[in-house]
Amino acid sequence: MPSSLAAARTGRFAGLTPLLAPRSIAILGASNDPARIGGRPIAYMKAQNFQGALYPVNPNRTEVQGLRAYPSVADLPETPDVAIVAVPAALAVQAAEDLGKRGTKAALVFTAGFAEVDAAGQAAQDRMVAAARAHGMRILGPNCLGVFDGRTGYYATFSSSFDSGWPVPGRIGIASQSGAYGTHLYTLARNRGIGASLCIMTGNEADVTVGECIGWLAENPDVDVIAAYIEGIREAPGLLAAFATARAARKPIVMMKVGRSALGSAAAKSHTASIAGDDAVTEAVMAEFGVHRARTSEEMLDIAQTATRRIYPVRNTLGMITLSGGAGVLVSDVAEQAGLAMPAMPEDAQAKLKSLVSFCAPRNPVDATAQVGNDLNLLEPFFETMVKEGGYSSVLGFFTMVASSRRWPAMLERLNAVRAKYPDRLYVLSAIAPEPAVRAMEADGWVCHEDPSRAVTAIAAMGRFGAAFAAPPPAPPPAVPPVVLPATTPTEAEAKRILAAAGIAAAPEAACATAEAAVAAAEGFGFPVVLKILSPDILHKSEIGGVLLDVADAPAVRAGFATLMARARAAAPQARIEGVLVARQMRGGVECILGIHQDPVFGPIAMFGLGGVFVEVLQDVVFRRCPFGEDVAADMIRAIRGFPLLDGARGRPKADVAALAAMLARLSAFAAAAGPRLRAIDLNPVFAMPEGGGAFAADAVIELG
- Whether the CB-CB separation of 109 and 87 falls below 8 Å is answered with no
Per-residue model confidence (pLDDT) at position 612 = 65
- Whether the CB-CB separation of 532 and 549 falls below 8 Å is answered with no
As a whole number, the mean pLDDT across the chain is 93
Whether residue 673 is contained in a domain is answered as: yes
Among 265-269, 287-291, 506-510, where is mean pLDDT lowest?
265-269
Residue 526, phi then psi, degrees to nearest 5? 95, 135
Q: Specify the number of domains making up the chain.
A: 4
Stretch 562-568: mean pLDDT: 96
Residues 599 and 579 both lie in one domain: no
Per-residue model confidence (pLDDT) at position 533 = 95
Q: How many residues does the chain have?
A: 705
Stretch 542-551: mean pLDDT: 92
Confidence of residue 321 (pLDDT cuts 50, 70, 90): very high
For residue 627, whether the previous peptide bond is cis, meaning omega lies within 30 degrees of 0, is yes
Closest CA to 531 of 574, 573, 566, 571: 566
Residues 234 and 327 both lie in one domain: no
Residue 227 has pLDDT above 80, yes or no: yes
Q: Please list the residues that pair with 687 across neighbouring strands.
A: 591, 696
Residue 638 has pLDDT above 60, yes or no: yes
Q: Which comes out higher in pLDDT, residue 10 or 116?
A: 116
Confidence of residue 616 (pLDDT cuts 50, 70, 90): low
Residues 542 and 419 both lie in one domain: no
Whether residue 424 is contained in a domain is answered as: yes
Residues 565 and 628 both lie in one domain: no
Residues 314 and 436 both lie in one domain: yes
Gap between the Cα atoms of 3 and 120, Å rounded:
41
Q: Please list the residues that pair with 108 across neighbouring strands.
A: 84, 140
Stretch 103-126: mean pLDDT: 95
Q: What is the pLDDT of residues 136-157, one digit of tens each?
A: 999 999 999 999 999 999 999 9
Residues 113 and 175 both lie in one domain: yes
* Domain endpoint, select from 543, 563, 584: 584
CATH of the domain at 198: 3.40.50.720
Gap between the Cα atoms of 609 and 66, Å rounded:
66
Stretch 657-681: mean pLDDT: 97
Whether residue 462 is contained in a domain is answered as: yes
Whether residue 483 is contained in a domain is answered as: no
Residues 202 and 56 both lie in one domain: yes
**Cβ-based neighbours of 13, under 8 Å, separated by 6 or more:** 212, 215, 216, 218, 219, 242, 245
Per-residue model confidence (pLDDT) at position 277 = 52
Whether residue 129 is contained in a domain is answered as: yes
CATH of the domain at 671: 3.30.470.20
Per-residue model confidence (pLDDT) at position 661 = 98
Q: What is the pLDDT of residues 29-54, one digit of tens each?
A: 999 999 999 999 999 999 999 999 99
Asked whether the CA dihedral 482, 484, 490, 493 is positive or negative, the reply is negative
Whether residue 609 is contained in a domain is answered as: yes
Q: What is the pLDDT of residues 353-398, one digit of tens each?
A: 999 999 999 999 999 999 988 899 999 999 999 999 999 999 999 9
Stretch 523-535: mean pLDDT: 94
Per-residue model confidence (pLDDT) at position 259 = 76
Stretch 655-674: mean pLDDT: 98
Confidence of residue 260 (pLDDT cuts 50, 70, 90): low
CATH of the domain at 536: 3.30.1490.20
Residue 649 has pLDDT above 90, yes or no: no
Per-residue model confidence (pLDDT) at position 274 = 41
Residue 361 per-residue DSSP state: B
Per-residue model confidence (pLDDT) at position 542 = 84
Among 154-163, 227-236, 284-293, 496-505, where is mean pLDDT lowest?
227-236
Gap between the Cα atoms of 56 and 448, Å rounded:
44
* Domain endpoint, select from 251, 267, 293: 251
Residues 519 and 538 both lie in one domain: yes
Task: Give me the domain span that covers residue 28.
Answer: 3-251
Residues 527 and 601 both lie in one domain: no
Residue 327 has pLDDT above 50, yes or no: yes
Whether residue 106 is contained in a domain is answered as: yes
Per-residue model confidence (pLDDT) at position 586 = 87
Gap between the Cα atoms of 529 and 526, Å rounded:
7
Give the angle 638-639-644 at the CA atoms, nearest 5°: 50
Residues 640 and 566 both lie in one domain: no
CATH of the domain at 367: 3.40.50.261
- Whether the CB-CB separation of 174 and 182 falls below 8 Å is answered with yes
pTM: 0.91
Q: How many CB atoms lie within 10 A of CB 75?
A: 11
Residue 402 has pLDDT above 50, yes or no: yes
Residues 580 and 667 both lie in one domain: no
Residue 270 has pLDDT above 80, yes or no: no
Per-residue model confidence (pLDDT) at position 613 = 56
Gap between the Cα atoms of 703 and 678, Å rounded:
6
Q: Which comes out higher in pLDDT, residue 537 or 67?
A: 67
Q: How many CB atoms lie within 10 A of CB 473?
A: 7
Per-residue model confidence (pLDDT) at position 275 = 42
Whether residue 484 is contained in a domain is answered as: no
Per-residue model confidence (pLDDT) at position 5 = 45
Among 8-17, 540-549, 668-677, where is mean pLDDT lowest?
8-17
Stretch 452-473: mean pLDDT: 97
Q: What is the pLDDT of residues 77-87, one digit of tens each?
A: 999 999 999 99
* Domain endpoint, select from 444, 470, 496: 470
Residues 150 and 71 both lie in one domain: yes
Gap between the Cα atoms of 149 and 163, Å rounded:
16
Residue 680 has pLDDT above 60, yes or no: yes
Residue 520, phi then psi, degrees to nearest 5? -65, -40
Confidence of residue 232 (pLDDT cuts 50, 70, 90): confident
Stretch 350-355: mean pLDDT: 96
